[in-house]
Amino acid sequence: MLNLLILIAVVLGIIALSKVVKVLEQASTVKGVQPYEVTERDNKTQANLMPVFLVLYFAFIVWQLVAWGDFMLPEAASEHGVVVDGLMNTTWIIIIPVFVITHILLFYFAWKYVYNKDRKAEYFPHNNKLEILWTAIPALVLLILILYGLSIWNETMKPLTAEDDPVEIEIYARQFDWTARYPGEDGKFGKADVKLIGGVNSLGMDSTDQNSWDDKLVKAEFVIPVNRPVQFYFRSQDVIHSAYMPHFRAQMNCVPGMVTRFNFVPTKTTEEMRDITGDPEFYYQLLCNKICGAAHYNMGMEITVVSEEDYEEWLAEQKVFMTVEGNTSAANETTTETEEEKNEQLSSL
C-alpha cells in the first residue's frame, strides 16, 4: 500500500511540474519573450555555475572514496594477487590525474569561453600535429598497460605441473551451493557423470570407478595449505556460476558440460588474516559472482588456510566417498599418472 501511495505521489508531482513549466512559458510569451530564447544573462549564469559544479563534483567523488573506500578489494592473500593489485594501482596512477586534468579543462573552457556577441571565434578546422599527438599518446599508454596486463595474465594462468606438487581440488557448483572434492591417496579423481546424479550422489560420482572410492567430498567449508600451489577444477550441474575468491584475486566461470581451471598460491593463513583485519571471526570466502537464480546471494562457502601439517591432519579426518568391503581402496594402489591420463580423466568429468 505504501509503495502505491509513493507511486501516486510521484506521478502527481510530475504532472504538477509540467503544469508549472507550461504556466511559465505562457507568462514569458505574454511579456514578449520567447520561452526558449537564450539571453546573455542566461549564458553568464550558466558559465558562472560551471566552477561551482566542478567543485561540488570533485567533493562528491572524494566523499564517495571516504564513504565506500572500505568496500574496495580486500588485502591480497595470494602470490599473484599482489601482482594484480600492482597492475590495478598502476592503472589508477595513470587514470586519476588524466581524469582530474581533463575535467578541470572541460569546465574551465565552458566558463572562459561563454558566448560573447562581440567576440568572433577563430576558424581552426584541422591540425595534423595535434591529432597525431592526442592519438599517439593514449595509444602508447594503453599499449603499455595491455602488454603489462597480458604478461601478468599469462603468468597467472600458466598450468601447474607435477613438479609444482599442487593440491588438487574440484569445486562443484549447483543452485545454490558448492561442494569441494579432494582426490584420495591415489591422487586421482574418480569419474563423474551428470546422468548419475541422484539421492545422496549429488556430484554424479561413478561408484564403479575405483578411483572415486577414496575421493573426499566436503561442504560448507574447505581447507587449503599456505604457501603451496592449489589447482582448482570447476564444474557446474545446472547453469553458469562464477567461482569468486576475492582475497585470492581468483575468479573462474563454472560452465555446465566442461571443466575450467584456476590455480594460485595462498600466502596468508586464516589466523594471520584475522590479525591483519582485526576480525576474530574472519574467513576467506568462495562466492558466486554470476546471478544464477533467486538464491544467488546466499551461494557461498568458507575457505580456511592453514599450515601444511594442519591441512594433512584435516584431510585425513574427512570421509571417503565409499568404502567397499573386501577391496583395498584405490588409495593403496601405487600408480603413476601421466599428464595425458590426467587430461583424459578431466575430460570425462
Q: What is the pLDDT along the chain (349 residues), one digit of tens a residue?
A: 778 888 898 999 999 988 887 877 777 677 666 666 777 788 888 899 999 999 999 999 999 999 998 888 888 999 999 999 999 999 999 999 999 999 999 999 999 988 888 888 788 888 899 899 989 999 999 999 999 999 999 998 888 888 889 999 999 999 999 999 999 888 888 888 888 888 778 788 888 888 888 889 998 899 999 999 999 999 999 999 999 999 999 999 999 989 999 999 999 999 999 999 999 999 999 999 999 999 999 999 999 999 999 999 999 998 888 755 444 443 334 334 444 555 555 445 5
Q: Per-domain residue ranges for the chain?
A: 166-347
Give Dmax over CA atoms of the chain in angstroms: 104
**Closest listed residue to residue 256, CA positions, set 182, 207, 192, 208:** 192
The pTM is what? 0.74
> What pLDDT shows up at residue 36?
66
Q: Which residue has the cell 578411483?
A: 211
Residue 152: φ, ψ to 5°: -65, -40
Q: Which residue has the cell 547453469?
A: 239
Asked whether 225 and 269 are in contact (CB, 8 A), the reply is no
Residue 340: what residue type?
Answer: E
Grid cell listed for 160: 601447474
Supply angle C-alpha 265, 266, 268, rounded to 5. Answer: 150
The secondary structure of residue 256, as a DSSP letter, is B
Q: What is the dihedral of CA 156, 279, 72, 140, to 10 degrees?
A: -40
Grid cell listed for 2: 505504501
In angstroms, the CA 57 to CA 227 distance is 45
**CA distances for 181 relative to 242, 278, 297, 334, angstroms:** 17, 31, 23, 21
In angstroms, the CA 331 to CA 334 distance is 8
> What pLDDT shows up at residue 53?
94
In angstroms, the CA 168 to CA 185 distance is 12
Domain 166-347 in CATH: superfamily?
Cupredoxins -  blue copper proteins (2.60.40.420)
Residue 193 neighbours by CB under 8 Å, 6+ apart: 204, 206, 348
Q: Beta strand 167-174 with 230-236: parallel, antiparallel or unpaired? A: parallel
Asked whether 251 and 232 are in contact (CB, 8 A), the reply is no
